[in-house]
């Protein structure tokens, strides 16, 4: 939660600095949303792959599901991260504290 002191410090900023602070907050939130979406999609892909492998080998056990899920999830996160953040600008101090 924001404190009264933080609100006072924000009001003391120039309009340009206030806009910069708002923009950096919004960009951080957008990156968090993208990471959440990447993880949700990767979890779905990993679960589907683990289920399909279990059905294909006719073996339904956590010893099979867990490694398949983790490997597929890791590869999916890596691939989606590289694809989504391709062409992103380099580190900017006021955006990335």
User: pLDDT tens digits, residue range 22-44?
Assistant: 888 888 888 899 999 999 999 99
How far, rounded to the nearest angstrom, does the alpha carbon of residue 93 sit from its chain's CA centroid?
A: 20
Closest among 27, 34, 30, 2 to 96, alpha carbons compared = 27
For residue 13, tell me if it sits in a domain.
no
* pLDDT tens series, the chain, 97 aa: 467 887 788 888 888 888 888 888 888 888 899 999 999 999 999 999 999 999 999 888 889 899 999 999 999 999 998 888 888 777 665 554 4
For residue 69, tell me if it sits in a domain.
yes
The Cα 68–Cα 49 span in angstroms is 7
Q: What is the pTM of this model?
A: 0.73
For residue 12, tell me if it sits in a domain.
no
Structural domain boundaries, residue 39: 20-97
Domains contained in the chain, number: 1
15-57 and 62-84 are packed helices; what angle lies between their axes, rounded to 10 degrees?
A: 140
* Residue 94 pLDDT: 55
Contact 39, 80 (CB under 8 A): no
Contact 50, 64 (CB under 8 A): yes
């Amino acid at each position: 939660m924001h404190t009264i002191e933080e609100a006072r410090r924000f009001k003391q900023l120039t309009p340009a600095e206030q806009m910069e602070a708002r923009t950096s907050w919004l960009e951080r939130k957008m990156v968090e949303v993208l990471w959440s979406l990447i993880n949700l999609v990767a979890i779905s892909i990993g679960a589907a792959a683990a289920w399909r492998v279990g059905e294909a080998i006719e073996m339904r056990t956590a010893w099979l599901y867990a490694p398949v899920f983790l490997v597929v999830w890791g590869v999916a996160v890596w691939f989606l991260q590289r694809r989504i953040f391709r062409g992103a600008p380099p580190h900017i101090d006021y955006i990335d504290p």
